Amino acid sequence: MRFGHFDDDRREYVIDTPTTPYPWINYLGSESFFGLISNTAGGYCFYRDARFRRLTRYRYNNVPVDEGGRYFYIKDGSDTWTPSFRPMKKALDRYECRHGMGYTKIASSRGGVGVESLFFVPLGHRCEVHQVTVKNESAGPKSVKLFSFVEFCLWNALDDQTNFQRNFNTGEVEVEGSTIYHVTEYRERRDHYAFYHVNAPLAGFDTDRHSFLGLYNSFGEAQVPLSGEPRNTMASGWHPIASHCLQVDLAPGESKTYVFVLGYADNPVAQSSSRPMGAEKWSAPGVVNKAPAKALIEAFSTPAQVAEAMGQLKANWDRLLGQYTIRSGDPKLDRMVNIWNQYQCMVTFNMSRSASYFESGIGRGMGFRDSNQDLLGFVHMVPERARERIIDIASTQFEDGGAYHQYQPLTKRGNNDVGSGFNDDPLWLILGVGAYLRETGDFAILDASVPFNNDENNKASLLEHLDRSFNHVPNNIGPNGLPLIGRADWNDCLNLNCFSETPDESFQTTGNRTGRTAESTFIAGLFVVAGKEYASILDKLGKADRAAEVRRWVAEMTVRTEDKGWDGQWFRRAYDFFGEPIGSQQCDEGKIFIEPQGMCIMGGIGIESGKAKLALDSVKEHLDTKYGIVLLWPAYTKYLVKMGEITSYPPGYKENAGIFCHNNPWVMIAETELGRADRAWDYYSKIAPAYLEDISDVHRVEPYVYAQMIAGKDAVNHGEAKNSWLTGTAAYNYVAVTQHILGIRAELDGLRIKPCLPSKFSTVQATRKLRDATFEITIKNSASGRYRLTVDGQAIDGVVVPYPAAGKTVHVVCEC
Ligand code: GLC
Ligand code: GLC
């Protein structure tokens, strides 16, 4: 069943019911100011950090779901309703929500009044703009009242939800003209405030939540809009809100448009002895300096300004999405590759795993592994930002090559609570940097001087950081010659040194064993993948000796993996604390795992010996389902203290045999390494969201973005997805489909064109822009497994088209 449709020309998903199987959301903003918005206008916004600079309050895990948002109420005679359906849930004569690239539009009508709201964050500004058009669609005159509503968060989202003995006293607001200022804690150490403005005179306002709603009422029973009478309340402590009341008088057919600005402003306080703290905070004693807010208000006081900002937003997305586009003849593939998968990659790059409808914005920081992987799907869009991100990540690395598992976005410092010791982490830095170099050719980044553990007095070149990342594996080898796993590898829940028997302990950070036994074949595979990438970088730098050493290690690890990592029909997953295999025929449960089959073969392990083929056929036999490939089989039915969190989940969910969509593309890529296009395609189209639109009732979350997990075959609700948006799934599926299935991949020396497409794709056109050149590519596919390339009519050897001079366009034909 569907709940909407794709509008590819406008790059929108159009939702035609407010009662989707779960709130279907979108993100506003792509620089420093962000909002999350559902199809019924729920959600919240923040500046930079969803925990420390949250502007509006949102109630996670509430009843009903999705409480808190940017709500508008219409009072039309005796009828009061909300155009976004929630929170009043009055029946609408018409409803449509369009989620687009960085904006959301909700249009509805009731009783002859039409309301169209547009929500977006303008480029270069720290605010959300809400443009609301009210139209009289009836035959007679209409006189209605429009009430806006947002509830302020007292900035620190965790404190806001826990520290009530203090927070019920601190709330403060100011009202000036049509602007409501939220100034809680500005009197002390904060130099920032929020405001909500509308470009029209007010019929009244409210800033006190109890007065606006009524103490015992929900958002859907707000007494001010129900009565139609604003109360001009001034919040003092408790719960500051901002609600404007506008009187809207309309002749038949007439409409009026209002521009609301919900913004963040600051008066940065430079502290010095000559300039005491607070010098510019106040325009008069106790009066907040409103100059920065007023500048922002000025910038968006007319619909013409809004239209211009929307034009800029669209032009920006044209540019971002224009680096790699295809016309394949399959609209679902085109919309994934050209629009939604890239869009999701941008969101994951911006958010990491911090704020979604499944991530509360107060929990996790930026993951070392996650952020490097996100880069793989993002680097072609804004390489400059990828460069900055690489330096930020590398700056948290330790001297021994190890890494903090996470760092905080606001301070960019490593996070001590989670600590380090996830032994795959360092290798991802090589892959992140490799992707950046292949995209840009900017080898100068390797000379950048980058601190260890953010210590400015202890720095080394980025190249040296990569070297230490690589060496971290040879320096941490276990009894079978395979890499030690540490606290966990990519699978955060495979905790072989933890042995936790106490509830509430973290599986990741409670290591009560030193653990120099447990090994990971996944890290072995990743080491080979990253080692090959690193050696090719060293080749380019003319460091032949080091490249040879790296290759020796890669060859050695390949042999060890085929030997000690092999189980007979597939690659083993790991060796536990006692030296027993995990992911083996010998095990009762968890006999086969997906990760090493994907990653080892991506590294080329077992391709010549035939083990790769055996392993992938075993994946097909034991792990494949109609909704995707499960992580392991059979699912663990009981908690095993020696394995940790993975066995804590009920069978079929999350890492315990869920379809973890992030590692499915590794198997797709591995299949393309064997040239098996149909298999790769089958796996791709099983989990790519656009292909799941018709089963939205089963899948439940948004059909335009990937979710982290779909419940596996052992789960009660097989096929149901959770944790949409913020997942490495976005980047890795993008890599799989664009670089391996479509086969267009930037290499250090040129653009590799080596598609592995099923024969039903007979002709695919692609445009790839990089390094100031444009490649116009025609793939003529008969799935022959042989490749013949011409560049501007001239045949070339091999599948790599050398980079042309800047500014040039080359035409490539690939017959395969
Ligand atoms: C989550 C984490 C990621 C990890 C994966 C598997 O997606 O963000 O770092 O690799 O789970 O445990
Ligand atoms: C990953 C896993 C999750 C686990 C978390 C711990 O995100 O998916 O199950 O709780 O890591 O960091």
pLDDT digits (tens, 9 = 90+) for 634-684: 999 999 999 999 999 999 999 999 999 999 999 999 999 999 999 999 999
Pocket probe for ligand 2: among 645, 649, 661, 710, the residue whose CB has the most ligand atoms within 8 Å is 645
Give CA–CA dist 792/806, Å, rounded: 16
Q: Which residues contact 507 (CB under 8 A, 6 or more apart)?
A: 493, 495, 498, 500, 644, 645, 648
Q: What is the mean pLDDT of the chain?
A: 96
Mean pLDDT calculated for residue range 195-222: 98
**390 Cα–ligand 2 center, Å:** 23
Pocket probe for ligand 1: among 359, 662, 709, 710, the residue whose CB has the most ligand atoms within 8 Å is 662
**156 Cα–ligand 1 center, Å:** 26
Report whether 155 contacts 189 (CB < 8 A): no
* Nearest-10 Cα torsion for 510, 512, 514, 520: -60
pLDDT digits (tens, 9 = 90+) for 327-343: 999 999 999 999 999 99
Report whether 473 contacts 482 (CB < 8 A): no
Q: Say yes or no: CB of residue 313 within 6 Å of ligand 2.
A: no
pTM of the model: 0.97
- For the chain, give the number of residues: 816
The pLDDT of residue 515 is above 80: no
Report whether 726 contacts 347 (CB < 8 A): yes
> Quick one: pLDDT band at residue 436, thresholds 50, 70, 90?
very high
Pocket probe for ligand 2: among 353, 487, 491, 492, the residue whose CB has the most ligand atoms within 8 Å is 492
**389 Cα–ligand 1 center, Å:** 19
**508 Cα–ligand 2 center, Å:** 9
Ligand 1 atom showing the smallest separation from residue 353 Cα = 8
446-453 contacts: CB < 8 A, separation 24 or more? Answer: 446/537, 446/541, 448/391, 450/391, 450/394, 450/395, 450/397, 451/395, 452/395, 452/397, 452/398, 452/399, 453/396, 453/397, 453/398, 453/399, 453/404, 453/414
The pLDDT of residue 321 is above 60: yes
| Residue that the structure tokens 């500004």 belong to | 125
Give CA–CA dist 565/557, Å, rounded: 10
Q: Say yes or no: CB of residue 489 within 6 Å of ligand 2.
A: no
- Residues within 6 Å of ligand 1 by CB: 353, 367, 369-370, 490-493, 655, 662, 708, 727-728
Give me the pLDDT at residue 285, please.
Answer: 87
Mean pLDDT calculated for residue range 139-147: 98
The number of the ligand nearest the C-alpha atom of 707 reads 1
Residue of 670, 680, 678 lying closest to 598 (CA atoms)? 670
Tell me if residue 749 is catalytic: no
The number of the ligand nearest the C-alpha atom of 726 reads 1
- CA-nearest residue for atom 12, ligand 2, is 492
As given in the structure block, the two tokens for residue 473 are 């594996």
Give me the pLDDT at residue 271, please.
Answer: 56
Rounded to the nearest 10 degrees, the angle between the axes of helix 677-687 and helix 664-673 is 160
Mean pLDDT calculated for residue range 439-464: 98
- CA-nearest residue for atom 9, ligand 1, is 370
Q: Say yes or no: CB of residue 438 within 6 Å of ligand 2.
A: no
Q: Say yes or no: CB of residue 359 within 6 Å of ligand 2.
A: no
The number of the ligand nearest the C-alpha atom of 363 reads 2
> For residue 324, how far is the Cα from the chain centroid?
19
- CA-nearest residue for atom 2, ligand 2, is 492
**87 Cα–ligand 1 center, Å:** 34
The number of the ligand nearest the C-alpha atom of 644 reads 2
Ligand 1 atom showing the smallest separation from residue 728 Cα = 7
Give CA–CA dist 692/627, Å, rounded: 9
Ligand 2 atom showing the smallest separation from residue 708 Cα = 8
Q: Say yes or no: CB of residue 654 within 6 Å of ligand 2.
A: yes
Q: Report which secondary-structure segment, H or E, holds 194.
A: strand 192-198
**492 Cα–ligand 2 center, Å:** 6
As given in the structure block, the two tokens for residue 257 are 């448009």
Mean pLDDT calculated for residue range 351-370: 91
Give me the pLDDT at residue 728, please.
Answer: 97
Give me the pLDDT at residue 270, please.
Answer: 60
**421 Cα–ligand 1 center, Å:** 15
Give CA–CA dist 118/134, Å, rounded: 12
Ligand 1 atom showing the smallest separation from residue 493 Cα = 12
The number of the ligand nearest the C-alpha atom of 368 reads 1
Q: Say yes or no: CB of residue 647 within 6 Å of ligand 2.
A: no
Ligand 2 atom showing the smallest separation from residue 507 Cα = 6
CA angle, corner 470, sides to 467 and 474, nearest 5? 120
The pLDDT of residue 400 is above 70: yes
Per cent of the chain over pLDDT 90 is 94
Q: Which residues contact 289 (CB under 8 A, 6 or more apart)?
A: 267, 280, 281, 282, 283
Give me the pLDDT at residue 363, please.
Answer: 80
The pLDDT of residue 272 is above 60: no
> Quick one: pLDDT band at residue 276, thresholds 50, 70, 90?
low
Give me the pLDDT at residue 514, please.
Answer: 77
What does DSSP say about strands 773-780 and 809-815: parallel, antiparallel, or unpaired?
parallel
Which residue of the set 76, 492, 576, 714 is catalytic? 492
Q: Say yes or no: CB of residue 370 within 6 Å of ligand 2.
A: no
Residue of 748, 749, 773 lying closest to 438 (CA atoms)? 748
Give me the pLDDT at residue 280, please.
Answer: 85
Mean pLDDT calculated for residue range 726-754: 98
| Residue that the structure tokens 């687009």 belong to | 100
- CA-nearest residue for atom 6, ligand 1, is 491
- CA-nearest residue for atom 8, ligand 1, is 370
Q: Indicate the SS3 state at residue 298.
A: helix
